[in-house]
Amino acid sequence: MDRFDEMHVFIRIVETRSFRRTAETLGLPRSTVSEVIKRIETRLGVRLLDRTTRVVVPTLDGEAWHRRCLDIVADVETAEAAFKGGSVRGRLRVDVHGTLARHFLLPGLPDFLATHPDLDFVLSEGDRLVDLVREGVDCVVRVGEPADSDLIVRRLGALPEAVVAAPEYFARHGIPQTPDDLDGHRIVAFLSTSTGAPLDLAFTFNGKEVTRALPASLTTTGAETMVEAARRGLGLVQVPRYHLGADIAAGRLVEVLADHAPAPSPIVALYPRDRQLSPRLRVFIDWLADQPFGSQPFAG
């Protein structure tokens, strides 16, 4: 095994946090994986990994070496791709909120994977903050303006939102005409996993962005659960419109305060500010930018 192959082994260990899973995915004996790390650490004169009975994590030196390995591997892949007509291969891990993946990524994903059959594509679902380098993630797709970050931000689109509830809910509580009419109403609230707090309703009122904090009948981390709760009359919900097309058309949910809708929420891709993108991440980002994020306001 040459040094380039050893880099691949080390990168996979950092990604999987496991000698056993690395050995399984690379088709190597576990003893070989251990010997590779010993050789690298002896050659560099530093400890790269902290090992416990449950997980393997890189040291600070290990994180620095991991970044250098990624750069070197990306350079080689770019050079090879130039002679292979742009063929890309290798593992690409992307983390996307589940509903975004199902509505906007999965419809076009079969064509993307057919175009790049040598990609090992891993799609994880979530909306928490992700340490891309530490967790071995190439790219995340999120809703909302990102906090200050060293990551590159690629804006993909924007999601208009709507406030809806079931007809029987409005029969009990009345139909608000402005945000000032919301006293006495209840909501199904979205619990932000990044802040740990439920989100208030947001509106544009008299030319300004305003929020309204209302008592919640239910608080959840799932937008689809919010919509189902609204169907069952538990309160007002504010979610992206793409969740609501069939329900609004069938009269199961009724939109209110449309004239006071907040600014659409941006959808962004975040990825490391590397000196040079790997070919597999570059083709994915280019493909991602062509997907119809936010362009279907009432897609069911």
Report which of 150, 149, 201, 146 is spatially closest to residue 176, judged by C-alpha positions.
201
Give the 3-state DSSP-derived string for 185-242, with helices as H, strands as E and coil as C: CCEEEEECCCCCCECCEEEEECCEEEEECCCEEEEECCHHHHHHHHHCCCCEEEEEHH
Report which of 294, 283, 289 is spatially closest to residue 138, judged by C-alpha positions.
283
Delineate the domains of the chain, giving CATH numbers in brackets. Answer: 1-84 (1.10.10.10), 88-156+273-300 (3.40.190.10), 161-263 (3.40.190.10)
Report which of 123, 129, 67 is spatially closest to residue 92, judged by C-alpha positions.
123
CB 254 within 8 A of CB 167: yes
Contacts of 94 (CB under 8 A, 6+ apart): 121, 122, 123, 124, 137, 138, 139, 140, 141, 284
- Any idea what DSSP says for residue 103? I
AA letter at 91: R
Q: Which two tokens stand for residue 38?
A: 């010993």
Rounded CA-CA distance 6/207 in Å is 59
* Lookup result for tokens 């793409």: 242
pTM value? 0.68
The number of beta carbons lying within 10 Å of the beta carbon of residue 209 is 10
The number of beta carbons lying within 10 Å of the beta carbon of residue 10 is 23
- Any idea what DSSP says for residue 258? G
Rounded CA-CA distance 108/291 in Å is 8
pLDDT per residue as tens, the chain (300 positions): 899 999 999 998 998 889 988 998 889 999 999 999 999 999 999 999 998 767 899 999 999 999 889 878 877 776 776 666 556 877 888 999 878 888 889 999 999 999 999 888 999 887 776 777 667 788 999 888 777 567 888 999 999 999 999 999 999 999 999 999 999 999 999 998 777 899 999 999 888 999 999 999 999 988 899 999 999 999 999 999 999 999 999 999 999 999 999 989 899 999 887 655 778 888 999 999 998 875 544 333
* Lookup result for tokens 């891990």: 93
Kindly write down the DSSP assignment for every residue of 52-91, as one continuous string: -SS-EEE-HHHHHHHHHHHHHHHHHHHHHHHHTTT---EE
